[in-house]
Amino acid sequence: MKSEARQARHTYLRPTSLALVFSGGVLGVLARELLMFVVPDTGDLPVAVFVANLVGALLLGMLLEALAADTESRRAASLRVLFGTGVLGGFTTYSAVAQAVALLLVSGSGWLALGYGLATVLFGAVATWCGVVFGARIARARSGVTEHG
C-alpha cells in the first residue's frame, strides 16, 4: 500500500507531468488575463478575479467528477495535471483575492474586504459543488444511466 502511494506521488513529479502543468498553467494565466481585459473592475473590487475563481471552481468540480471513476489510468492522471493543476490552477487566483482583501483593509473598507473574501470562498464552494453535480449528470448521461435507475 505504501509503495502504491509513493508511486502515485512520484507520477506527478515526472518531467512529462511537470511539462503538462507548466503548459496548462501558461494557458490558464493567459485565459485569466484575457478575462481581465474583457471584464472591468468596479471600484476597488476585482470583478474579473471573482469571475475567474467561480468559473474555475465550477470547471474543477466538473473535471474531478468526470475523472473520479478513473483513478488508475495515466490518461486520467495526465488530464488532472494538465487541466486541474495546470489550466485551472493558472486561471484561478486566490492570491489576487488575498491582495484585494488586504488593499481594501488598508484603505479602510473592512466590511467590503470581509464581504469580498467571504463571497469568493462561499460562492466558490457552491460553484465547485455545482460542478460536481453537473459532472455526475454528464457522466451518467454518457454511460446511459438514468437518475431513477
Contacts of 22 (CB under 8 A, 6+ apart): 86
Least confidently predicted of 33-37, 87-91, 102-106, 141-145: 141-145
Torsion angle in degrees (nearest 10) through CA of 70, 90, 127, 113: 150
Residue 10, domain member (yes or no): yes
Residue 74, domain member (yes or no): yes
Distance CA 148, CA 20 (A): 39
What's the pLDDT at 48? 92
Domain count, the chain: 1
What's the pLDDT at 50? 93
Q: Once rounded to an integer, what is the mean pLDDT over residues 96-111?
A: 92
Residue 64, domain member (yes or no): yes
Residue 149, domain member (yes or no): no
**What is the pTM assigned to this prediction?**
0.82
Task: Say if residues 136 and 62 touch (Cβ distance below 8 Å).
Answer: no
Strand partners, 45: 42
Residue 148, domain member (yes or no): no
Helix (H) or strand (E) holding 50: helix 47-67
Which has the higher per-residue pLDDT, 53 or 10? 53
What's the pLDDT at 9? 57
Give the domain range for residue 97. 2-143
